Amino acid sequence: MRNPYKPSDALRGVRYEIRGKLANRAHEMERRGYEIISLNIGNPGRFGFRTPETMRLAMIENLPSAEGYSHQKGIFPAREAVVMQQQERGVQGVTAEHVFIGNGVSELIDLTLRGLLDPGDEVLVPSPDYPLWTASVTLNQGRPVHYPCRPEHGFEPDPEAIAKLVTPRTRAIVVINPNNPTGAVYGRATLEAIARLAEQHQLVVFSDEIYDQMLYDGATFVPMATLVNDTLCATFSGLSKVYRACGYRVGWVSLSGSKTHAQDYLDALDLLASLRLCSNVPGQWAVQTAIGGYQSIHELTGPGGRLYQSRQAILDGVAASPYLRVAPPAGAMYAFIGVDQARLPGFDDRAFALDLLEKQHVLVAPGSSFNTNYNDHFRITNLPDAATLNEVFRRVGTLLDEYAAAAAA
């Protein structure tokens, strides 16, 4: 008998383990009274970070104007603020008509891919990646083709390796910079080479820049849209991370570069935006204040700032361990930590993550859940304070010592 509740076949191969079985198990343990240190999600509000007060006030003052639907692309002041930011960064040819406000970047990733892909079209996606990109390509009937960002190269992509993956079915390339999950910040030469490759093959560039101002130790962020001229570039950002406003669910995508043959695609995005009516209107009123106001993120990421100190606690914890290694994150709010399988034969990131949760009450994300072909990494966020992270590494060390003793027995 046919199962009337069979899930869609489109979900085969789609995963988002950051909020998957491990997270569900952690919630179950919390309901039973265990205190879990949850490092699986970059959710600033959970760790005491507050949205800037000016943004909250902007929402409150404009609530009377936020009770109805807005234009499908978003309110004009929010879109114009994105335009002004892009212009200040040197991006040319962007107007408010080229900006779409969404319910977070997540919705816009799906919308922009849905408007582009036909069944079997290929999209170049980094490995490791933020897994929503791979999932969204798959859900929109495309084929994700992963290009390697190798640990031994500091997780920076190799443009020559990417070029070998381009086929006649390739439609787009995804760039995540600063990177989630690795914290890598790509150099200008790498980004320029990717831009030239995209222009050569007329690929749409999807540049995920949600962590654009989260930088450490003098790292320099180069906006991809400043380098892409002869093909279309879609730049994604939002309020969730830099402005610590995940719950507002406000993101944006701005379209720049060559639009000579892109009008049909832009019209398709407008249609898709219309079908979902509009994004959260109260949250949109915070955008202009956020972008145009004081950028308090720099106090958090600079020396002495909380994010800077937490990052340092991670680096110190890794340095003190005989089992761990990490490419120091230059941006974002994560560290992608490797485990020495020579010292710990048979180490498996998924088994480790479950053991760490069950035995030490720490929740991390297995590295292979970020679409890698290796299983010796795990991702944590640097949002907790340094003291909490020191305790995390003590617990990680205890578990890895148990693994080492079992391997030696």
Ordered domains of the chain (ranges, CATH): 9-50+298-408 (3.90.1150.10), 53-292 (3.40.640.10)
Rounded Cα distance, 106 and 282, in Å: 18
Q: Tell me the pLDDT tens digit for each residue of 365-385.
A: 999 999 999 999 999 999 999
Distance CA 329, CA 327 (A): 6
Encode the chain (409 residues) as per-residue pLDDT tens digits. Answer: 788 888 888 888 777 777 889 999 999 999 999 999 999 999 999 999 999 999 999 999 999 999 999 999 999 999 999 999 999 999 988 999 999 999 999 999 999 999 999 999 999 999 999 999 999 999 999 999 999 999 999 999 999 999 999 999 999 999 999 999 999 999 999 999 999 999 999 999 999 999 999 999 999 999 999 999 999 999 999 999 999 999 999 999 999 999 888 999 999 999 999 999 999 999 999 999 999 999 999 999 999 999 999 999 999 999 999 999 999 999 999 999 999 999 999 999 999 999 999 999 999 999 999 999 999 999 999 999 999 999 999 999 999 999 999 988 7
Task: Provide the CA 19 distance to its chain's centre, in angstroms.
Answer: 14
The predicted structure's pLDDT at residue 355:
97
Q: What integer pLDDT is reported at residue 407 of this predicted model? A: 86
- With tokens 């290929």, the residue in question is 122
How many CB atoms are located within 10 Å of the residue 397 CB? 17
How much is the pLDDT for 399?
Answer: 98
Instruction: Output the CA angle 299-302-306, nearest 5 degrees.
Output: 70
Lookup: tokens for 80: 């114009």
Backbone dihedral region for residue 5 (phi beyond 0: left; psi -120 to 50: alpha; all else: beta): alpha
Query: Where are the strands (E) in 260-317, listed by range?
Result: none
Beta strands in 204-343 (DSSP E): 204-208, 232-238, 251-257, 324-326, 334-339
Q: What pLDDT score was predicted for residue 6?
A: 82
Tokens representing 196 are: 């030239």
Query: What is residue 5's predicted lDDT score, i.e. its pLDDT?
Result: 80
Enumerate long-range contacts of 153-158, CB under 8 Å, 24 or more apart.
Answer: 154/184, 154/327, 155/128, 155/179, 155/182, 155/183, 155/184, 155/327, 155/336, 156/184, 156/186, 156/187, 156/190, 157/126, 157/186, 157/190, 157/194
pLDDT, tens digit, 9 for 90 and up, residues 247-270: 999 999 999 999 888 999 999 999
- DSSP assignment of 232-251, as one string? EEEEEEESSSTT--GGG--E
Tokens of 209: 């820049």
Residue 9: per-residue pLDDT: 80
pTM score of the predicted model: 0.95
